[in-house]
Amino acid sequence: MSHHTRGAKAEPKPVADPIRKVPAPPKDMSTEAKAEWRRVMPVLVERRVLSKADIAACERYCEATGDIAIARARIRLDGDYMENSRGELKRHPAFVTVRESAAEARRWAAELGLTPASRSRAGAHEDTDAADTLMD
């Protein structure tokens, strides 16, 4: 794959002063976002690609992923379709959150090298076992 493809992200490469210990997730994060944090941060720390400046990107990624899980749980609870005030059947409004958060999560995942395409650009093949668990 060419490195000059349209929309190609910067390649996550080992940084000079990487975070070497998985930081605790922010206290105000949702349970769902914290679960994603605990799943991906060990892999990112192991790859030595995170500096302190990247923590905010990790937070945004985990929050977006958490929002998807929360919205999906709500849809499972209420059903895919709901009646509006006029008694018309409409798609659950939480689908908007799912769509917006999925786009947001995808952008941050690419920035962080958490997608298969961004991993291959980063040449992060030595830790395929850890990387593969991200997509389970």
| Tokens coding 124 | 């992060």
In a domain, 96, yes or no: yes
Count: domains in the chain? 1
Instruction: Evaluate whether residue 1 is within a structural domain.
Output: no
With respect to residue 120, please indicate whether it lies within any of the assigned structural domains: yes
87-109 pLDDT, tens digit per residue, is 999 999 999 999 999 999 999 99
Domain membership flag for residue 15: no
Domain annotation covers residue 50? yes
**Which pLDDT tens digit goes with each residue over 5-53?**
455 555 567 788 899 999 999 999 999 999 999 999 999 999 999 999 9
Tokens of 92: 């659950």
In a domain, 51, yes or no: yes
pLDDT at 71: 98
Above 90 in pLDDT, residue 73? Answer: yes
| DSSP type of residue 3 | T
Which domain does 120 fall in, by range?
31-133
Is residue 9 in a domain?
Answer: no
Within 10 angstroms of residue 18's Cβ, the number of other Cβ atoms is 16
Phi then psi for residue 90, to 5 deg, are -125, 150
Give phi and psi for 91, each to the nearest 5. -60, 145
DSSP for 26-50?
PTTS-HHHHHHHHHHHHHHHHHT--
Burial 71-105 (b: 16+ CB within 10 A, else e): bbeebeeeeeeeeeeeeeeeebebeebbeebeebb
In a domain, 97, yes or no: yes
